[in-house]
Amino acid sequence: MTINDALHRLLLDNLTTATLLLNSQLCLEYMNPAAEMLLAVSGQRSHGQFISDLFTESPEALSSLRQAVEQAHPFNKREAVLTSVTGQTLTVDYAVTPLFSKGETLLLLEVHPRDRLLRITKEEAQLSKQETTKLLVRGLAHEIKNPLGGIRGAAQLLSRELPNEELKDYTNVIIEEADRLRNLVDRMLGSNKLPSLAMTNVHEVLERVANLIEAEAQGSITLVRDYDPSIPDLLIDREQMIQAVLNIVRNAMQAIAGQKHDMGLGRISLRTRTLRQFTIGHTRHRLVVKVEIIDNGPGIPPELQETIFYPMVSGRADGTGLGLAITQNIISQHQGLIECESHPGHTVFSIFLPLEQGAPTP
C-alpha cells in the first residue's frame, strides 16, 4: 500500500458518513466504520458478500444498482427504508456514484441516515420542553410554598390557643398536610446540589438495582443481565445514578405486576453497549455508553408517551408522576440523554452517557 493509498484509507475510515464500495457484481469491497455502525455488521467479515446480505430494500432498488453498473449512471434516493441483517429498520438517503478502476465499474454508496436527524430534532425539542417545564415548576413551587408557610404557621398559633386538646387534632391535620404538600413540591424541584462525581463501573450501578428489584419481586419476574464487560468506568454520581435507574426498573416491575402473563413470568432486561460518534444535544461524542432497560409489560399508553418525563404525569392511579422526571433531571446533570420507545409487550428506556465528560451542569 502506497502512502497515498494509506492516506485515502485513513480519510475514509474517519468519515462520519457511512461509505460502501461495491464491485460490478454488487459484492462488498470496502465498508468504513461509520457504515459498520449503521448496518451493525463487520466490514472485514462482510467482505465479498452480496449487497442483499448486508441490508435489503426492494427489488426495484437492486435493479437500479445493476443499471448504475451497466450504464455508469449515478443517482440519489431519498428516504429509502433499509432492513439490516439484525432486523432493524433504517430510513436513509443515499447516493450511488459509479467509479472505474482496472477495467471494472465499481459503485460508491454514501448513506446518510435520516433516523439520526429525526432523533436529534426530537431530542432538541425534548430538551427545550424540559427547560420550559423546569421554569414552570420552579415558578409554581415558589407560589405554593409561600402561602403554605403561612398556613402552617397560623395552624401552629391556633393550636396553642385552643382550650380543648381534641380540637388540636384538626390543626395537626392542617400542619401534616401542609408538610406533605411542601415535601411533594421539593420532590418536583429535585436536588439542587451538583452530582458527586467519581469513576464508577456502570455495571456496579445496575447490579445494585438488580439486587434491590430481585429482593422486592421475590421471584415474580425474570431479571436478565446482558452486559458489555469492555465498558470502562464512567465519571458519574453512583447514588444518583442508582436512583435514576431504579425509578425506571421499579416502574417496569409495577407495570408487569399489573397484568396477567399467559406466557410465563414478566421479564426485565438490563443491557449495556457502547456507541461511536453519537450526538447528544449539540455535542457529538466519540464514545457513549448506552444502558437499556427493557420489559415485556403492557407498554405505555400512546397518549402518555410524549409527556412521561413531565412532573405529575403517571400511568398509574396511585403514581405521583415524579419518578421519571427525577430520572431525567439526574441524566441531564450528567450531560446524558434518556429516551423511551414503547408498544404492548415491549418497552425500552435508553440512557446515553458520554464516556468523556466535562463539568456537570447544575
pLDDT for 311 equals 63
Using pLDDT thresholds of 50, 70 and 90, give the confidence band for residue 358.
Answer: very low
pLDDT for 140 equals 72
Using pLDDT thresholds of 50, 70 and 90, give the confidence band for residue 345.
Answer: confident
Whether 17 shows a pLDDT value over 80: the answer reads yes
What distances in angstroms separate CA 22 from CA 56, 95, 276, one per listed residue? 15, 13, 24
Q: What angle do CA 311, 313, 317 make, to 5 degrees?
A: 130
pLDDT for 362 equals 37
| Residue 267 CB neighbour total at 10 angstroms | 17
Average of pLDDT values for 73-84?
A: 89
Whether 9 shows a pLDDT value over 90: the answer reads no
Using pLDDT thresholds of 50, 70 and 90, give the confidence band for residue 170.
Answer: confident
CA nearest to 280, candidates 343, 203, 354: 354
The per-residue b/e assignment along 199-228, b for 16 or more CB within 10 angstroms, e otherwise, is ebebbebbebbbeebeeebeeebebeeeee
Q: Which amino acid is at 185?
A: V
pLDDT for 127 equals 66
Whether 105 shows a pLDDT value over 60: the answer reads yes
Beta-sheet strands, E only, within 221-265? 221-226, 234-236
Characterize the bridge pairing of strands 266-280 and 221-226: parallel
154: left (phi over 0), alpha (psi -120 to 50) or beta: alpha
Q: Which amino acid is at 218?
A: Q
Which residue is it, cell 418525563? 309
Which residue is it, cell 415485556? 296
pLDDT for 320 equals 54
pLDDT for 268 equals 93
Enter the C-alpha cell of residue 117: 436527524
Q: In what order do the strands lie in the sheet with 55-56?
A: 28-31, 18-22, 104-113, 89-101, 75-84, 55-56
Average of pLDDT values for 143-166?
A: 84
Using pLDDT thresholds of 50, 70 and 90, give the confidence band for residue 159.
Answer: confident
> Using alpha carbons only, how large is the chain's radius of gyration in Å?
27
Whether 79 shows a pLDDT value over 60: the answer reads yes
pLDDT for 270 equals 95
The per-residue b/e assignment along 52-81, b for 16 or more CB within 10 angstroms, e otherwise, is eebbebeeebeeebeebbeeeeeeeeeebe
Average of pLDDT values for 156-167?
A: 84
pLDDT for 224 equals 92
Whether 7 shows a pLDDT value over 80: the answer reads yes
Q: Report how far residue 65's alpha carbon sits from residue 296's, in angstroms, rounded to the nearest whole number.
A: 40
pLDDT tens track for 275-305: 887 877 777 788 999 999 999 988 888 877 6
CA nearest to 299, candidates 248, 256, 245: 256
pLDDT for 312 equals 55
Enter the C-alpha cell of residue 89: 429498520
Using pLDDT thresholds of 50, 70 and 90, give the confidence band for residue 205.
Answer: very high
pLDDT for 327 equals 85
Task: Please give the model's pTM, rounded to 2 decimal places.
Answer: 0.59
Residue 273, classified by CB atoms within 10 Å of its CB into exposed (0-12), middle (13-18) or buried (19+), is middle
Which of residues 270 and 324 earns the better pLDDT score?
270
Average of pLDDT values for 71-86?
A: 88
pLDDT for 67 equals 92
pLDDT for 357 equals 55
pLDDT for 187 equals 65
pLDDT tens track for 250-281: 988 988 886 654 445 789 999 999 988 787 77
Using pLDDT thresholds of 50, 70 and 90, give the confidence band for residue 102.
Answer: confident
pLDDT for 343 equals 87
pLDDT for 359 equals 39
Whether 307 shows a pLDDT value over 80: the answer reads no
pLDDT for 191 equals 58
pLDDT for 90 equals 85
